[in-house]
């Protein structure tokens, strides 16, 4: 029986049965309501899409360790990533609450639909931010010292759409910090070479965010929000997105050469290039019907294939 969704006939018989039935229906059973709210929250922040950033963070960790870092370090890197992304996404939903309510595409999200209260989302954001700081403290002093800066960047993104067409790059930086942060987690210091991976992830993220933003051109114009599609039109924005992804590949080629990685890294980049080409083939200025496939499915595979191929290249060199 699913305790969070109710019981059946016998629970209705007698006083005790009546009370039990009310409990099982979730009217008096706090934990069930909490679980339902948590499930709604995870749907709101698209928790499953942590796959976008986590593989790049793990790549940074593997490059820093020249192999697999110890299990404890990997655990706290993953915890930090989950905390940072959860805090960023929930804060974004708070900052954009009014815009989401007005936009037909987003008005069914949890906050504008009334499925969650602002107080609850604020508490979740604070808890997620605290989780990041805790993980940073467990890693090393430099991670802890930089954790407020990381939070400042991911929170600031939500407001950049109010005043700049280049908010996509700030979102990209929010994810691009992940491999550099993982490098610091492993080594306790920063190597300038890893910033090539940060720049590549920034451009990759900004490129696919531009594609996603093409859906909201008309709303952004009416609401006074800024984006490259709103500024350049869909065709111009898609061209910029393609240029960003091409530059991303060049940066990764440079990093693979500097790190003296073997053939798996270059095979992986070839596969990533094909996936990005496929992503851009899915969207056209006059047909945005497959944006979700381009945004979610393709980019999930990009990050996973990149990590597997580069991790293999590092491990084969040991």
Residue 63: give its domain's CATH number: 1.10.357.140
Clarify whether residues 27 and 175 are in a common domain: no
Its domain, for residue 36, covers 1-44
Q: Identify the domain boundary among 44, 63, 78.
A: 44
Domain total in the chain: 2
Q: What is the model's pLDDT at position 182? A: 97
Clarify whether residues 1 and 123 are in a common domain: no
Contact 144, 136 (CB under 8 A): yes
Residues of the chain with pLDDT under 50: 1-29
Clarify whether residues 175 and 258 are in a common domain: yes
Clarify whether residues 40 and 53 are in a common domain: no
Clarify whether residues 232 and 289 are in a common domain: yes
pTM for this predicted structure: 0.86
pLDDT in tens, 51-89: 677 899 999 999 999 999 999 999 999 999 999 999 999
Residue whose tokens read 């999200």 = 109
Q: What is the model's pLDDT at position 291? A: 87
Clarify whether residues 17 and 160 are in a common domain: no
Q: What is the model's pLDDT at position 5? A: 44
Contacts of residues 43-46 at CB distance under 8 Å and 24 or more positions apart, as own/partner, are: 43/110, 44/89, 44/90, 44/93, 44/109, 44/110, 44/111, 44/116, 44/121, 45/85, 45/86, 45/89, 45/90, 45/93, 46/89
Q: Helix (H, G, I), strand (E, B), or coil: what is residue 192?
A: coil
Give the angle subtended at the CA of 170 by the CAs of 108 and 199, to the nearest 5°.
130
**287 strand-pairing partners:** 284
Clarify whether residues 10 and 118 are in a common domain: no
Q: How many CB atoms lie within 10 A of CB 15?
A: 7
């Amino acid at each position: 029986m699913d305790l969070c969704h109710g019981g059946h006939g016998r629970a209705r018989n007698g006083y005790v049965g009546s009370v039990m039935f009310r409990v099982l229906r979730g009217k008096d059973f706090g934990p069930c309501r909490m679980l339902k709210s948590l499930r709604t929250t995870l749907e709101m922040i698209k928790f499953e899409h942590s796959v976008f950033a986590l593989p790049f963070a793990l790549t940074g960790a593997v490059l820093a360790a020249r192999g697999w870092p110890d299990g404890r370090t990997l655990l706290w890197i993953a915890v930090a990533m989950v905390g940072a992304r959860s805090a960023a996404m929930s804060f974004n939903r708070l900052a954009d609450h009014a815009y989401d309510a007005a936009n037909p595409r987003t008005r069914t999200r949890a906050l504008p639909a009334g499925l969650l209260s602002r107080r609850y989302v604020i508490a979740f954001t604070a808890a997620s931010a605290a989780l990041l700081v805790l993980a940073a403290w467990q890693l090393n002093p430099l991670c802890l010292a930089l954790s407020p800066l990381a939070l400042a960047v991911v929170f600031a993104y939500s407001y950049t759409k109010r005043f700049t067409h280049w908010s996509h790059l700030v979102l990209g930086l929010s994810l691009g910090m992940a491999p550099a942060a993982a490098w610091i987690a492993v080594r306790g210091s920063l190597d300038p070479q890893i910033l090539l991976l940060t720049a590549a992830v920034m451009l990759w993220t900004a490129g696919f965010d531009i594609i996603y933003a093409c859906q909201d051109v008309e709303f952004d114009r009416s609401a006074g929000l800024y984006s490259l599609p709103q500024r350049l039109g869909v065709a111009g924005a898609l061209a910029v997105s393609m240029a960003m992804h091409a530059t991303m590949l060049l940066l990764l080629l440079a990093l693979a050469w500097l790190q003296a990685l073997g053939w798996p890294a270059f095979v992986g980049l070839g596969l990533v290039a094909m996936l990005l080409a496929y992503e851009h083939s899915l969207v056209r200025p006059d047909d945005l019907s497959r944006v979700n496939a381009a945004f979610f499915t393709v980019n999930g595979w990009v990050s996973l294939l990149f990590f597997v191929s580069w991790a293999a290249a590092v491990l084969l060199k040991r």
